A = this chain, B = another copy of it.
Amino acid sequence: MKLYSFAPATNAQRVLMFVAEKEIDLPVVEVNVREGALFEPSYLAMNPFSVVPFLELDDGTCIGESVAICRYLEELYPNPPLCGVTAKDRALVEMWNRRIEIDGFMPVVHALRNVSPGFKGRVVPGTRTELPQSGAITERGKAQFGILIDRLDGQLRQNAFVAGERFTIADITGYFMVETARRIDLDLSEHYSNVLRWYNTVASRASVPR
């Protein structure tokens, strides 16, 4: 089993942090994403969606999508549990991971891709496209992040971590949401004391990719 990764890619970092939390000894192949390696035939055959990370199993099957990879690893290496312990607990972790990802993480990723010079010609992940960067998408992404972080602060007022008293995959997603937001000069955590307390706790974990 091998993980295909690209060190600066946020979604790769999400999986690497998950792997580090579980102390899994997983070989990592660094892909030359900036030079277009993912569009070469050998990589297209493995992952036609042309993004990292993806996991190649020993039988050649390739699993893409960060959360799909993490869930697979959770089944193989259940401890420490990062996706919940009981059925109800798993549902609540999934709910919070999705809220963070859909309402906050993805909006800031799109905001970043539509404003950062480095993402020109790559506004849609895994494509080489003529689509232009769009200020309207960046502004909307920032607004959506603001709505999410306000709701998240309410949740963290009563809970140590995003999905309750235990550190989970939802905290990893949330951490990288804030990190991405900081790249476009959004650091609302200062205005939200509960988010800030939680963020500092997560940022100090040994599993954070350096």
Contacts and interface: CB of A to CB of B under 8 A. Distances in A.
B98 A87 contact: no
A48 B98 contact: no
A99 B151 contact: no
Contact of A151 (B48, B72, B91, B134): B48
Interface string A85-124: 0011011101100110011001000000000000000011
Contact of A72 (B87, B98, B147): B87
Given A65-B95, A143-B124, A72 B90 contact: yes
Contacts of A190: none
Given A87-B72, A94-B71, A64 B99 contact: yes
Given A95-B64, A99-B65, A147 B124 contact: yes
Nearest to A86: B75
A131 interface: yes
A61 interface: yes
How many interface residues does chain A have, given as a range? 35 or more
A101 to B, nearest CB: 9
- 6 tightest A-B CB contacts, nearest first: A136-B136, A72-B91, A68-B94, A68-B95, A75-B87, A65-B98
Interface of A: 48-49, 57, 61, 63-65, 67-69, 71-72, 75-76, 87-88, 90-92, 94-95, 98-99, 102-103, 106, 123-124, 127, 129, 131, 134, 136-137, 140, 143-144, 147, 151, 154-155
24 contacts: A48-B151, A49-B99, A49-B151, A57-B88, A61-B88, A63-B88, A65-B94, A65-B98, A67-B98, A68-B92, A68-B95, A69-B91, A71-B94, A72-B88, A75-B87, A75-B90, A102-B106, A124-B143, A124-B147, A129-B147, A131-B140, A134-B140, A137-B137, A137-B140
